[in-house]
Structure 1
């Protein structure tokens, strides 16, 4: 089914539906499950998003790569039996609107709250995500609105996976001066540009709004809006062997740098209030 001149609906062999973008501006793919973008390649440039070669795109199972939407909590919940990173990334979202112009393509999706078990989220809220795709950059906007009569709190993240041809020759600049917690220890202050030589799982607070990932293939700029926290992750050797849908050596070709609202940066919404978490990524 064609939704616009450059956007159509297709599906994987396993039955998952996705929006396929094939435009002079870029190519992209956004799954209805999780509203998860798994591909974005601006015209004439290399891909900006990484997905595991082991991913098999199964119904009800989170996709390893792309931009998983972690909501309404990030990481492991206080109740360890609840799903890690919340429920949004495996729920079936609804394609709401597609707008296409010569400069950009806007795709909006919403999460029907009937898809969310009240055990995990008993509040009356709405959740939408908008992808703005162009030849220059990808912009993602995740908007929560509190439709209830009491305050609502949540944590969330846009868990973006980025590609690199060599993690040992990759560095992240722009987190200097921020505080981080790693493996339950901290906070510590980030002193230097970050290079990779071990498992990395840093949750930052007080981070500046722009970071640069320098890879052998070029520099990726990652900007954030309404986010003072972010997460930097690479599983390295041992954890890679324990991850599902992840080849043992794939830690060498990826890293995550995630726009987030976590720790003291959690979102508190008063009745009728909205909050939009945004990230913008591009080749420098």
Structure 2
């Protein structure tokens, strides 16, 4: 780290943060969970990501905001397809959104230039991680690649199946975005797409619907969309953010609204008015199955 011009490691209570301070942009990346909590081109006054002012920088706890990494399963273990569940030990005890977001990652490499900074973090092969063997019996390596520049922020998750059998997983980049007014916030690009409503279920599971027009917010929202294209547009009172994705045909749109906001950790009762989650994912019908030795890359690019 001593030879780097723009990157340094700083301690924030119990967690280590990689701080990027480039003349063209700034970023803060926690080694725990490979969680990006801030990105901002220097000409922009505000963080492109929402981060609660009640976060706790504690070991073993994912922060509320930024981009938590959900892997190797998304959401509640028992809501995943059987092909994903078969790799999860003790379904009823498995942590929500997997374990990658609450354990330390390691730095594999950092490259700096006058235009951008590239950071690669990695988790060692999970079949050798005794801390996670109680949750998961899959064999895989995971890398997180970050590319920061003046115009965009790119995050990629690269999973490699290191076992001798097929491996199925679900995952997400659980991105929190800021807004001054959730009621004046719209998401474009999912018109005509089918979605499962996690708030409405019957004997067959979550009810499925078709999106009509842009997404707006007037109540609790928790939907898993099957995407038809790889580009979404988030419009808030502050402006427009574009989400370009690769390796994903599903996304989650979430806002907890009034009642759930009161029950969430690291979350103020009024914070639902100031944030929205659009999560780049491989979920439900879009789970990933890797043959031995194969890789999958899930990528999100944010731009304005």
Q: Shift in Å at residue 207 of structure 1?
A: 3.7
Per-residue CA distance 1:7-47 (angstroms, 9 max, x = gap): 000011x2210100111121111101001000001120132
TM-score (ref. length: structure 1): 0.97
Q: Shift in Å at residue 81 of structure 1?
A: 1.9
C-alpha distance in 2, partners of 1:2/1:224? 34
Q: 1:156 to 1:135 in 2, by over 3 A?
A: same
Aligned length: 282
Q: 1:207 to 1:120 in 2, by over 3 A?
A: farther
C-alpha distance in 2, partners of 1:207/1:167? 25
Do the aligned residues in 1 keep the contact of 2:280 with 2:300 (CA within 8 Å)?
yes
C-alpha distance in 1, partners of 2:185/2:144? 30
Per-residue CA distance 1:110-138 (angstroms, 9 max, x = gap): 01232651122222211000000000000
Matched, 1:258 2:279: yes
Q: Shift in Å at residue 249 of structure 1?
A: 0.3
Correspondences of 1:23-172 after superposition (within 5 Å): 23-45=22-44, 46-78=46-78, 79-112=91-124, 113=126, 114=129, 116-172=131-187
Q: Give SS of 2:132's match.
A: coil
Per-residue CA distance 1:134-162 (angstroms, 9 max, x = gap): 00000001000011110000000000000
Correspondences of 1:233-244 after superposition (within 5 Å): 233-244=254-265
Q: Give SS of 2:183's match.
A: helix
Do the aligned residues in 1 keep the contact of 2:181 with 2:273 (CA within 8 Å)?
yes
Equivalence for 2:17: 18
C-alpha distance in 1, partners of 2:138/2:189? 36
Correspondences of 1:166-205 after superposition (within 5 Å): 166-182=181-197, 183=199, 184=201, 185-205=206-226
Per-residue CA distance 1:153-181 (angstroms, 9 max, x = gap): 00000000001111111111111011101
1:271 to 289, 292, 295: 292
TM-score (ref. length: structure 2): 0.90
Equivalence for 1:213: 234
Segments of 5+ residues of structure 1 without an aligned counterpart are none
C-alpha distance in 2, partners of 1:10/1:212? 34
Q: Which has the higher helix share?
A: 2
Do the aligned residues in 2 keep the contact of 1:176 with 1:193 (CA within 8 Å)?
yes
Segments of 5+ residues of structure 2 without an aligned counterpart are 79-90
